Amino acid sequence: MTAIRRLAGWVLRRSILFVALVAALLIYRATRPSFESLAGLRESAAAMAAGGPALEGFARDIAARAEAESLAYHRLGREALDTRIAAAEQARAPLASACGADLPALLTRGAAGVIDNRRKCLTTAALTREIETLVALRTSLDARRPGEPLADALRRHAATMRVAAAIVRDAQARLATLNGDYVPNLLQRREIALQRARITGALAAHRAAARDARALIATQQGIAAARRRAAAISGEALARYRTLAKVRAKALSDNLLQRASAWAETNRLRSVAVQAAGAFLLIVATPYLIRLFCFFVVAPLAARRPAIRLMERGASITLPGPSAPSVGVRLATGEELMVRQDYLQTSSHAGTKRTRWLLDPRHPLTSLAAGLAFLTRIRGDGELTTVSAVRDPFAEVLLLDLPAGAALVLHPRALAAVAQPIDQPLRVETRWRLGSLHAWLTLQLRYVLFHGPVRLVVKGGRGVRVEQAEAGRVFGQEQLVGFSADLAYSVTRAETFWPYFLGREPLLKDRVAAGGGILVAEEAPLAGRRGGEVRHGIEGLIDAVLTMFGL
C-alpha cells in the first residue's frame, strides 16, 4: 500500500510539473507578441516624435529654396521654360503617390518609412509649385521683354496705358475744339484726321498694354495660387504626420505594458526592486551568517565554560536490561506503584487500587505539566503489574532501579510509572541554573532530580537505552532524557560543519563528562509524533517552555 501511495504521489507531482510547464509555455506564447509589439510601438513612437522637428525643418528649407528659385524664373526663355517644366514633371512622376496614406509605409518600414513618405510629399508639393509657376510665366512670356521681371513689365505696361490715356484725352480735346468750327478749312480737316489717328493708335496701344497687364496679373495670381497650394499641401502633410505621431503616442500610452513600465518608472520600481533584492538577500543570508557566528564564536565560547554539576557524588546505579514493549513490576513488601493511566496494561485482581492525583504534591505544576497526574496507585505485596504503552505503538519501557543515595536528572515526561516504598516516598528536587551559559544555550534552566530508593519505569520512542558515561558521551539534545546527577553536564559543538550549516543538524549537542554515572537516552524521540518532525507554532512554543522548566 505504501509503494502504491508513493507511486501515486510521484505520478501526481510529475503531472503537476507537466501542467505547469504547459501553462508557462502558453503564457509565454501569449505574451511574447505583446512584448514585441510594445517594443515596436515604443520605437516607432519615439522615432516619429524625434522626426517631427526635422521634417518641419525640411519643409521650411524646401519652401525657401522654391521661393528663391521662383524669383529667377523670369530670366528663362520659352525653350528653357519648356525644358524646366518637363524636368520637373519627370521628377514628380514617381512621387505622385507619396501624399497618400502612411499606413502601408508604417507597416512595412516603420517610422522611417513614414518620414520618408512625408519628405517625398513635401518634395512633390515643391515640384508642383515649380511646374505651375513655370506654366504661369510661360503664358505671359509675350507680355514681357526677355529677362524682364513681372513687376517691371507691369509698371512698363501701366506707364504705356497712362501715356495712351493722356494722348486720347489730348486728342479728344483738340477734336472738340476743331469740331466747334462750323466751316473747317482744309488744314483743320487734316488736323481732325490726325487727332483721330492719334486716338486710334493710343487706344490700340492702351488695349495691347491692358492685355499684357492682364496676362501679367494672371501670371502673378497663378504664381501666388501655386505658392498657396504648395503651402496647403505641405501643411496638410505635416498635419497628417503630427496626427499620426499623436496616434502612435496615444497607442503607446494606452498600452497596458507601457502603462506598467511608466508606473514602474514613476514609482522607481527598479530602485525599489534593487532595495528589495538587497533586503531579500540579507534576510536569506542572515540565518547562515548567524550559523557561522554561532559555530565559530558562540559554540567554542560555550564549550570553554564550566559544566553543570548538580551533585558532587552519589551512589552508583546498576545498568538495567534492554527496553521492551512492556515490563512487569512486582511489588516488594511495603512498596506501592504509581502508573500512568495509558501505561497500565494488566494488574493483579487482588491488589488495592486507588487514584493518585499528583505524583509529588510538593511540585503540583511539574506533575501536571509532565502528565504525572490522575495516576493509578497499586498496593499489595508481591503483586505483579504490567506496564506498557497501550496507545503508543512506538514506545518501549525500561525498569531502572535507583538505590538509596543515588539521584537521577530526568525529564518527568519520560516517566511511565514509579515504584516506591510506602514509608519513604519519592523525593523530587528541582534546581535552577540561571547563571550557566550551557543552560541558556539549551534553554533548560531548571533540572528535576529523582532521589532513591525508588524504581522508575522510563518510556521512550522505539526504546530506551541506558549506558555508562565512561570516557564521556555526546548525544543529541532530543535524545538525552536523563543522567546521573553527579556527572558534569555541558554542551558541545556539532562534530561536522556542513550538516549544521545547511540546517540538517543542530549546533549544540549534550555532552556528559567522564564518570561512573549512567546516561538515559531515548532511541527515537520523534517516533511517536505525527510526521516524525519537530513541532512548530504553538506546540513548538509549549515544548520550548517545558524544556526550559526541565519537563
**pLDDT at position 548:** 52
Write the CB contacts of 99 (distance below 8 Å, at least 6 apart in sequence): 121, 124, 125, 233, 236, 237
Task: Tell whether omega for the bond before 53 is within 30 degrees of 0, i.e. cis.
Answer: no
User: 288, 501 in Cβ contact below 8 A?
Assistant: yes
> Within 10 A of 387 (CB to CB), how many other CB atoms are there?
25
Q: Taking a C-beta distance cutoff of 8 angstroms, is the pair 501, 292 a contact? A: yes
Average the pLDDT over 238-264 and give the result: 65
Distance CA 433, CA 109 (A): 84
CA atoms of 113 and 103, how far apart (whole Å): 10
Residue 1: all three cell numbers together: 500500500
Q: Is the pLDDT of residue 352 over 70?
A: yes
When mean pLDDT is compared across 56-70, 293-307, 402-416, 524-538, the lowest value belongs to 524-538
Query: What is the dihedral sign for C-alpha 433, 439, 445, 446?
Result: negative
Look at residues 175, 167, 241 and name the one whose alpha carbon lies nearest to residue 209: 167
Which is more confident, 508 or 460? Answer: 460
- Average pLDDT of the segment spanning 189-205: 83
pLDDT at position 532 is 45
C-alpha 463/C-alpha 321 separation (Å) is: 12
pLDDT score recorded for residue 398: 92
User: Helix, strand, coil shares of the chain as percentages rounded to 5?
Assistant: 55, 20, 25
Q: So where are the chain's domains?
A: 34-258, 326-548
Q: What is the mean pLDDT of residues 15-33?
A: 66
Q: Which DSSP category does 456 fall into? A: E
Please, which residues have CB within 8 angstroms of residue 214's CB and are 6 or more apart in sequence? none
Whether residue 35 is predicted with pLDDT greater than 50 in this model: the reply is: no
In sequence order, what DSSP letters do the residues of 277-294 get, joined into one string? HHHHHHHHHHHHHHHHHI
Distance CA 311, CA 429 (A): 12
End-to-end Cα spacing for the chain: 38
pLDDT of residue 542: 57
Q: What pLDDT is recorded for position 456?
A: 93
Rounded Cα distance, 413 and 399, in Å: 15
537 pLDDT band, cuts 50/70/90, is: very low
326-548, CATH topology level: Double-stranded beta-helix (3.60.160)
Of 323, 319, 344, 321, the residue nearest 463 (C-alpha):
323
Average pLDDT over every residue of 232-239: 78
Question: Over the chain, what is the mean pLDDT?
Answer: 79
What's the DSSP call for residue 341? G
Amino acid at 505: E
pTM: 0.52
pLDDT tens for residues 45-86? 677 777 778 777 877 888 888 787 777 777 888 888 888 888
Q: Which of 236-245, 249-258, 536-545 has the lowest mean pLDDT?
A: 536-545
Look-up of cell digits 505520478: 11
Residue 36: which pLDDT band, with cuts at 50, 70 and 90? Answer: very low
Judged by DSSP in three states, 443 sits in coil
Using only the alpha carbons of the chain, give its radius of gyration: 58
Q: How many CB atoms lie within 10 A of CB 146?
A: 10
